[in-house]
């Protein structure tokens, strides 16, 4: 169907939208493919496998749990029109295929290759007599004293099983000391126990020999049931819904309410049961009944149920030749001695991890100790342990600066850490805010106010990623440092909004969720469509983590029908279906999975030959555009704008080694060099260019 066709397609038709959960599972297949890539160093392949397992855990805790909740309580159908019951069936089928592929690769390929390289994860059946004696003593000395097996009978009901904890269900025969007949017992592995045990070289014969805790527990579980016969021992793990439900409008203290909710998170409704492959069906049925699960929630595992724990071997094995070559991030060019003068001369662009996050820390440290700095305002979503950011903010407060920090308590899986962080900052005299009721503060902003002569000058850092030094070494992100008065005034106004002291405002340069970003994106997409219809050409390139917002997708479809060329680089879930005749012929979608996790959000619009480029903390998702506080900032310096375009867009569109192309049916195909084309890695090119 051509754009001029009188027949207008129904852009609300469910078949034009891919299912978000199935698309997310497709992403994990791409991560697994990195583990299966023989060109990737061996221990990095192990890490990718474990990442795919951890991702799947989070998928069940959040996405599958959300679908199960919709099945129980109803609600509107998603744009793809798939009812929750059918969605859960499709999720199970695709997740089961992923799990089977993970363990087949682990058992048949990766574990043997690690063994051949001198890194052995020893299975029970492979232990020699010396290893078995050492492990048995280890069990008796280190494990048995902290284990509390629980027999199941009328006075010992089924115990509460913590989310993602390692457990063993034991089938017993005989009578115990009180004359009770054997039956079933549960052995829970406390989280204080190491999941990976390294054998001493004099015992194992190798420098890097390891045993999984689950193997030791099942091998010596008999010691816990003296006088009884163990007929079978089967490891299992249950995954629970981990979304927190706090009615913010009904609580007086959000931090206190979250503490209460966190205490019960580990015991929320179950969504998945993983159990040893050879566990008898009657035992599985008992577990399913106790967890309130159906057959399509069980996954039989040919290996350790907590395979992601093997990632510890990556750090324990001192084998640099089996890892990616080390690299040193380049300094970003901020004048350490006079950072404010440096920013008055011009904006500074940071491209992490290729350029060091240290520049952000240096700017904040300088501000904390500069007697002319009067105030610092900062948003914090994730920071990591022992954060220098926190140290500098506390120093600033103790030096008499007015320090205000917006801590997002509801940052998923970091809630407890952020509550402690907020308490720590408040004790040091920092003014802490928790954002806005009903809206997560996901924006990444730092504002420094400095007295210079007779006037106050503002300096700003804006970013696409968190103020987290650890992820800045592993995630790709863009940061901007600037003294631009309009951008600084916008950031000031947003902080005023967050404190509850400003009405809806018209920003000068920034777009902001939940007020102007969504509308602004739709206007810019429509502008490209209008230009295309007028023969001026339309072109959009956008890079993000995920895309699911239906009105943005429909706007992209309309623009495609008008002739706009649309190139999307979407790392994770994408609900837009490309390549549909008459609808999305002009849209391509690719995903790049490489050494670093692609995290930056960059939007480029041709704008009739006067291009605009923006960086943002927001993906094109409903939550980011409607239910969060986000920022989207322009790159105004032409040289920096060109650099962002070259490094973050053109560079990734040229990748033919780590890129995957989304097909019309929702599957992905790996890109490869065409005839006469040289192999090209976007991340490899940036390492060479920026790190040398």
Q: Is the pTM of this model over 0.75?
A: yes
Q: What was the pLDDT predicted at 420?
A: 81
Q: What was the pLDDT predicted at 474?
A: 94
DSSP letter, residue 691: I
The C-alpha atoms of residue 230 and residue 172 are separated, in whole angstroms, by: 5
Helix/strand/coil for 602: strand
- CB atoms closer than 10 angstroms to residue 214: 25
The C-alpha atoms of residue 24 and residue 546 are separated, in whole angstroms, by: 9
Catalytic residue among 351, 352, 366, 442: 442
Going by C-alpha positions, the residue among 326, 316, 346, 323 that lies closest to residue 334 is: 346
Going by C-alpha positions, the residue among 207, 132, 18, 74 that lies closest to residue 589 is: 18
The C-alpha atoms of residue 378 and residue 284 are separated, in whole angstroms, by: 50
pLDDT band at residue 242 using 50, 70 and 90 as cut-offs: confident
Q: Where are the beta strands (DSSP E) in 55-118?
A: none
Q: Render pLDDT for 264-295 as a digit per residue (tens, 0 to 9).
A: 545 678 999 999 999 999 999 999 999 999 99
Contact assessment for residue 393 and residue 453, using Cβ atoms and an 8 Å cutoff: no
Residue numbers belonging to the annotated binding site for Mg(2+): 382, 412
Lowest mean pLDDT among 244-253, 384-393, 557-566: 244-253
Helices and strands per DSSP (H, E), number in the chain: 22, 27
Contact assessment for residue 235 and residue 275, using Cβ atoms and an 8 Å cutoff: yes
The per-residue pLDDT of the chain, averaged, comes to 91
Contact assessment for residue 479 and residue 644, using Cβ atoms and an 8 Å cutoff: no
Helix/strand/coil for 681: coil
Q: Give the list of residues 6+ apart from residue 149 with CB closer than 8 angstroms, or none.
A: 170, 185, 186, 187, 224, 225
Q: What was the pLDDT predicted at 412?
A: 64
Helix residue ranges, H only, 238-329: 254-265, 281-291, 312-316
Q: Is 220 left (phi over 0), alpha (psi -120 to 50) or beta?
A: alpha
Q: Render pLDDT for 465-503 as a digit per residue (tens, 0 to 9).
A: 999 888 999 999 999 999 999 999 999 999 999 887 667
Q: Render pLDDT for 69-108 as a digit per residue (tens, 0 to 9).
A: 898 888 899 999 999 999 999 999 999 999 999 999 999 9
Q: Render pLDDT for 328-384 as a digit per residue (tens, 0 to 9).
A: 999 988 998 899 999 999 999 999 999 999 999 999 999 999 999 999 999 988 887
477: phi then psi, degrees, rounded to nearest 5: -150, 160
Q: Render pLDDT for 117-154 as a digit per residue (tens, 0 to 9).
A: 999 999 999 999 999 999 999 999 999 999 988 877 64
Q: Render pLDDT for 43-53 as a digit per residue (tens, 0 to 9).
A: 999 999 999 99
Fold of 512-691: Endonuclease; Chain A (3.30.870)
Contact assessment for residue 434 and residue 404, using Cβ atoms and an 8 Å cutoff: no
pLDDT surpassing 70 at residue 175: no
pLDDT surpassing 50 at residue 221: yes
What is the residue extent of each domain of the chain? 16-322, 339-506, 512-691
Q: What is the CATH number of domain 339-506?
A: 3.30.870.10
Q: What was the pLDDT predicted at 178?
A: 43
Q: Is 333 left (phi over 0), alpha (psi -120 to 50) or beta?
A: left
pLDDT band at residue 3 using 50, 70 and 90 as cut-offs: very low
Q: What was the pLDDT predicted at 158?
A: 78
Burial of residue 149 (number of CB atoms within 10 Å: 0-12, 13-18, 19+)? middle
pLDDT surpassing 80 at residue 192: yes
For the chain, the first-to-last Cα distance in angstroms comes to 49
Residue numbers belonging to the annotated binding site for ATP: 55, 475, 571, 599
Residue numbers belonging to the annotated binding site: 55, 382, 412, 475, 571, 599
DSSP letter, residue 63: I
Chain center to CA of 307: 18
Answer whether 16-322 and 339-506 agree in fold.
Answer: no
- CB atoms closer than 10 angstroms to residue 545: 22
Fold of 16-322: polyphosphate kinase like (3.30.1840)
Q: What was the pLDDT predicted at 247?
A: 47
pLDDT surpassing 80 at residue 155: no
Per the structure block, which two tokens stand in for 533?
């219809």
C-alpha neighbours within 13 Å on the C-beta side of residue 73: 6
Helix/strand/coil for 2: coil
Catalytic residue at 442?
yes
406-435 average pLDDT score: 79
Q: Where are the beta strands (DSSP E) in 84-221?
A: 119-121, 150-152, 167-173, 184-188, 196-198, 208-212
The C-alpha atoms of residue 469 and residue 41 are separated, in whole angstroms, by: 24
């Amino acid at each position: 169907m051509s754009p001029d066709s009188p027949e207008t397609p129904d852009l609300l038709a469910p078949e034009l939208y891919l299912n978000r959960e199935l698309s997310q599972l497709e992403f994990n297949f791409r991560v697994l493919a990195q583990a299966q890539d023989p060109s990737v160093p061996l221990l990095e392949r192990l890490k990718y496998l474990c990442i795919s397992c951890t991702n799947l855990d989070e998928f069940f805790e959040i996405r599958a749990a959300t679908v199960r909740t919709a099945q129980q309580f109803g609600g509107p159908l998603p744009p793809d029109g798939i009812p929750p019951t059918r969605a859960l069936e499709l999720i199970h089928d695709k997740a089961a295929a992923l799990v089977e592929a993970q363990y087949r690769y682990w058992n048949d390929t990766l574990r043997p290759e690690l063994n051949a390289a001198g890194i052995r994860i020893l299975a029970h059946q492979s232990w020699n007599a010396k290893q078995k004696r050492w492990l048995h003593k280890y069990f008796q000395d280190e494990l048995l004293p902290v284990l509390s097996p629980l027999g199941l009978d009328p006075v010992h009901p089924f115990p509460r099983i913590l989310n993602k904890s390692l457990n063993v269900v034991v089938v017993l025969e005989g009578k115990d000391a009180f004359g009770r007949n054997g039956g079933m017992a549960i052995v829970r592995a406390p989280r204080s126990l190491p999941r990976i045990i390294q054998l001493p070289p004099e015992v194992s014969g190798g420098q890097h020999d390891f045993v999984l805790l689950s193997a030791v527990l099942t091998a010596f579980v008999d010691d816990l049931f003296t006088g009884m016969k163990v007929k079978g021992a089967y490891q299992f793990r249950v995954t629970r819904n981990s979304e927190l439900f706090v009615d913010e409008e009904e609580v007086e203290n959000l931090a206190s309410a979250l503490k209460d909710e966190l205490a019960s998170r580990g015991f929320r409704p179950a969504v998945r049961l993983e159990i040893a492959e050879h566990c008898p069906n009657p035992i599985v049925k008992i577990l399913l009944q106790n967890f309130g699960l159906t057959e399509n929630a069980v996954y039989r595992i040919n290996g350790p149920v907590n395979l992601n724990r093997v990632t510890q071997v990556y750090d324990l094995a001192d084998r640099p030749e089996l890892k990616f070559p080390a690299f040193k991030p380049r300094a970003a060019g901020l004048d350490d001695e006079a950072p404010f003068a440096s920013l008055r001369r011009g904006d500074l662009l940071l491209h992490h991890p290729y350029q060091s996050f240290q520049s952000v820390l240096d700017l904040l440290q300088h501000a904390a100790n500069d007697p002319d700095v009067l105030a610092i305002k900062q948003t914090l979503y994730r920071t990591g342990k022992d954060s220098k950011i926190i140290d500098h903010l506390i120093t600033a407060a103790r030096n008499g600066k007015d320090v205000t920090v917006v801590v997002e308590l509801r940052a998923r899986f970091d809630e407890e850490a952020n509550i402690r962080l907020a308490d720590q900052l408040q004790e040091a005299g920092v003014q802490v805010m928790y954002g806005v009721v009903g809206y997560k503060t996901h924006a990444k902003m730092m504002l420094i106010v400095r007295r210079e002569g007779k006037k106050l000058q503002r300096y700003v850092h804006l970013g696409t990623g968190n103020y987290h030094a650890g992820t800045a070494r592993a995630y790709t992100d863009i940061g901007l440092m600037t003294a631009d008065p309009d951008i600084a005034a916008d950031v000031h106004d947003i902080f005023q909004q967050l404190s509850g002291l400003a009405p809806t405002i018209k920003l000068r340069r920034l777009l902001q969720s939940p007020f102007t970003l969504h509308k602004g994106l739709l206007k810019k997409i429509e502008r490209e469509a209008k230009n295309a219809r007028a023969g001026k050409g339309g072109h959009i390139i956008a890079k993000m983590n995920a895309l699911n917002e239906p009105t943005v997708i429909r706007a992209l479809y309309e623009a495609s029908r008008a002739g706009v060329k649309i190139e999307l680089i979407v790392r994770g879930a994408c609900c837009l279906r490309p390549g549909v005749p008459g609808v999305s012929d002009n849209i391509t979608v690719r995903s790049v999975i490489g050494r670093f996790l692609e995290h930056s959000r960059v939007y480029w619009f041709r704008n009739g030959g006067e291009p605009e480029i923006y960086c943002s903390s927001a993906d094109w998702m409903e939550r980011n555009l409607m239910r969060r506080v986000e920022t989207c900032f322009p790159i105004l310096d032409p040289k920096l704008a060109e650099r962002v375009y070259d490094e973050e867009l053109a560079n990734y569109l040229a990748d033919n080694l780590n890129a995957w192309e989304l097909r019309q049916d929702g599957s992905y195909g790996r890109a490869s060099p065409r005839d006469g084309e040289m192999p090209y890695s976007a991340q490899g090119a940036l390492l060479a260019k920026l790190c040398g």
